[in-house]
Structure 1
Amino acid sequence: MIGRLIDGRYQVRSLIAKGGMATVYVATDLRLERRVAIKVMHDHLAADERFRERFIREARSAAKITHPNVVNVYDQGDDEVFAYMVMEYIPGITLRDLLHDHHRLTPEQSIDVMDAVLAGLQAAHKLGIVHRDLKPENVLLADDGRIKLSDFGLARAASANTATGQVLLGTIAYLSPELVTKGTADVRSDIYSLGIMLFEMLTGEQPYRGDQPVNIAYRHANETVPAPSEVNASVPHELDELVAWSTERDPELRPADAGVMLEALRRAEAELGQSARPVDPTTVLATASQSDVEDTDPTELALITSQMSSASSPPEFSDGHVEPFRPGDSPTVVGAPVFPETSAAELEPSLPQATSTAEQGASKRRTLGAVIAILVIALVAAAGGIGWWFGLGPGSYNTVPEAVSLTQADAESAITAAGFSVGDVTQEFSLEVAAGTVMDMDPQAGTSLAPETPISLVVSAGPEMLTVPALEGLTLEAAESAITEAGFTYDQATTLRQFSDEEADVVIAATDTTGAPLPSTLAEGQPIRLVASAGILPDVAGETEANATKLIEEAGLVVNVSSREFSASVASGVVIASSTTTDPVVPGDTINISVSKGPAPVVLPNVVGAPIGEAIATLEGLGLTVGHNVPPGIVNDPNPVIKFVVSTQSPAAGVEVPAGSNVTLTATATL
């Protein structure tokens, strides 16, 4: 991604941080010639409509808020397969970094940070937007002293307060009791999170800890947050009360919104004798130069130091994923952040002292000698920092080589050749990346790191082998659901249909794309082809030719009269039998039918001169009827006294007549 031009406008320069949902880069807006931060959604998540909607919701929620203490959103769009969001670039560190390095803040410094955060959050609450993920990772401390609230990834309208399916998407340490127990959130849920954050700034630790997230969630829902002064005796009573009010388990008992809490904070500040707020309420991290010291009344000087520091605490994205900051990921020279006060004896060359504008009121009462002493210490610390920078720090770092798309063996060789070590190697299934190929690495290529730093790799294990579900006997609709739920793909256009003993649209077989039977397991995402019944072949024997033709054609088949035959048992024009021409039979195939012509014709034999009884028996045996003028008793008498012999017959012998025709005989008596 480094060096890529996104949407023809944003030139990606370097990596800031990577989360489970997106990666943030420093980029240059070529159109407006300014530096921006661009948040790019991971392409495998961009295909998921649920994640894409959440990402777009973050951009829209943040874009609605215009306030100096909220990170501005400039643009949002799509570039090929991924979605992105363009934001204001804030060089500096996070509040989490500050707490990680200095454990806790003074009450004055905590008030300054909370004042700025509440001011920005108040603007969101006025628009009916609930942040839902307030924590130190989402509070940015800029080089120039500004404080910005970021990451509205879980933000929602206050009216849409149900967190269905996402109850614990926020960081568990800051979740309100109602989110844990009911899955609902409103502006007072944000107030609870800020109360926990204020407790952490004052004490250096979170009020609840546990081995499992569920234990922490249980304590949020069932315990009262202790007073910060129980952990840090220097916390004043006024701030104890503010923490207690904002962390009431019952939302109705908390401040109604950020504006109400901001008023309470400023009243507490006044009671504590704080100095007037700065002219620009968005800035609490002020800086000054040596010339400022020389030109300013010593009684009005603030303590000034500078710190060479790189971010050392892992920022956490709204989806809970933690990705460490590393040297080179973001600007490392930060001017006068709000650090806890330290004595001269505690100062070390690599960790210079710092103050905030909240301490300027107190510094006005200090003497010029004290200011000069602190400046000398700062210079010594800076000199030590420079030595560390080029000796052991980022000045001596190597650049991580690109390992993605290499085989595991080649990637490990490249890493060790660059002076690093190979860290954890994990495998993940992938449909796109060949087995044994590196899919991802941590830290990313191009990062500057100390020699021997371990580089972790994610190697593709290829597609996952999944169990093929039983499909025969299911309807097509049920089979399609079973295929997709099992992790395979199905295209209706590939379905084959053939006539069978099953009703139409019942699966009679499943194959791969070549037509071969399916094995018991198949690679994830592989296509499955179904063979479905086209219905039962119509039985047309005994139907008239016209009706048989209609039934066959309605089934999608073609009729062919293959023969017309005489039949003594089947009436003329009726189908004697049908037969198929293919196996299996599919729509469009031909069905042969045989149609009866009725009984076959009879050629009359010559019975003239035969006894009348014998002649009658012969003709009737051929399916003919016989008429005669001889008394029946004479005909049926086997030993008549007077014998009658046929003298003539009509029709005459040799004539062809239809079966069942009548033949008339004339007989003459004889002795």
Structure 2
Amino acid sequence: MDTTLQDPLVGQVLDGRYRVDARIAVGGMATVYRAVDTRLDRVLALKVMHPSLAVDGSFVERFIREAKSVARLAHPNVVQVFDQGTDGSYVYLAMEYVAGCTLRDVLRERGALQPRAALDILEPVLAALGAAHRAGFVHRDMKPENVLIGDDGRVKVADFGLVRAVDTVTNTTGTVLGTVSYLAPEQIENGTADPRVDVYACGVMLYEMLTGDKPHDGDSPAVILYKHLHEDVPPPSAAVPGLAYELDEMVASATARTPEIRPHDAVALLAQVRDGRGRLTVEQLDAVPPQALAADHDNTDDRTSVIPRALTTPRPLPVNEDDEGSAAALNRTSRFESPPPPPSRRRSGPRRGPMAIVVAVLLVLGLGTGIWYINSGQFTEVPPLLAKTQAQAEDRLADAGLELGKVEHAYSDTVERGTVISSDPKAGTRIRGNDAVSLTISDGPRNVRVPALEGERLDKARSLLKQDGLEPGMVTREFSEDVPKGSVISARPADGTKVRTGTAVALVVSKGSPIDIPDVTGSDLADARSELEDAGLEVKVAAERVTSSEFDKGQVAEQSPSPGGRAAEGDTVTLTVSKGPEMIEVPDVVGDSVDDATRELESAGFQVEEDRGLLGLFGDTVKDQSVKGGETAPKGSTITIKIR
């Protein structure tokens, strides 16, 4: 049976906007659906929190707060958050829909990957994590299930920020076996999590992509946790003989059990990966591991063929060489390797003698020698220089018979200070011997001071931050007696602090002086409106009126926020007007005993008062009632019965 047919949300429209079409996946915290935004007519993913978790107010608050923060991560390798909302008991996120598969699907169907494919997946993952780390976020649940590979080959990281709202460290049931395999030792031991736990998880994922297996296995999550605490991740070459040492180095650096030894964040690890990749040959990058499950078949229609063909098909070209130019060079060379066409017989004209044949052969040999001299004897390849120091780059250029040209400097968030960002010409380009190669050296991330923002209007503060290369961060609002409404009270990091460009700066904005909300319940609507507006508040009248036995028709029965609270100038107070008490029919109790009459009137919603007078002191029969039977009276009002 199709379980989606039993899902109550499939076919429904959440929040009057998102039509749920199909269930994609179910996790421990939420269910993910494919949905259509009927307002913008686009397909998206809808992540709906399980109702059992949605009853926890603090959990939902953190879920929403993190979603808002992650929505600021506008990075091409991060699954974007479009919207957040609630509909009854459903708390949801509207997110970017990525058509394709997960890295887990790829590993399941292909086993180990070629180093080129593994690095081409890892690098955008690290770029996404690097952007998050520099913005102050830690993913804390990196694993192949959270790496999405689109049908167009793009790699994206999912579930940013949501992991902050749930603690997976103490959960050791079988359902999180895939998660505990990527936990860093410090997460297991004391629950701490900084960017280095994501670095560790990426090292484990790289090992798994290169070998097809996780580094630590066991019969239970507890065994795996123990191994992460007490055993190093083995080098991938132990499982795949022949893997380059540089790949072992990447894994060892990222999965060091001591956090201080690891790269401090994903940006630093990305620089190491690019440096190591620059030292690998084409043969090392395109080596097919024996653990590969689908290396010998055509993957044209394979689900995992979303990995670009350039990642999985060996290329007979040097790294960074221009494909088009190289193909043309090969075509030109092939003209001298093919046998010359047989000469056509001619009935007339002079015969070519032996001397003509000798000249033709010499001409071919001369041209071939010239081509060899141009392609090999006179030209050399620019060596890989990325992430090398200037001195190391000069040594490599000298070894290749090349000169150092112009040296420029530029800021970089991803390349370590003092090392090469790029070369001109780029690595792998063939140039004349003794030619010069220009270098661009990293000055590290550009640091700027947070500008003075106190007292500035919010829009101007945001503009000043962007002018200095910083990002406006989360805005919170507080009352202030000194700072005008809408102006900045403080910033975090504080004014004058030196930070990297791109850093998000959180702002605290004034709500103005607080206003004590007056109590206008029981007042006529016009009087209530006048009193609130005089206090500096806006007034909104609820469309629905309520019945009230306490307040007459036209009087204010309810107000929100409640009286006695504090509000900012210009805040709105909503008033609900009474439509008077509920009118109900009065039972006819004349002739009934006092007990029966009292019981019947009270059950109808009235209070009862007895009038016995002098003649009714010992009587027990109702002679008359203050409101005649069959007439109406306000519910809860008092009916007087006369007794004789």
State the TM-score, normalized to the length of structure 2.
0.43
State the TM-score, normalized to the length of structure 1.
0.42
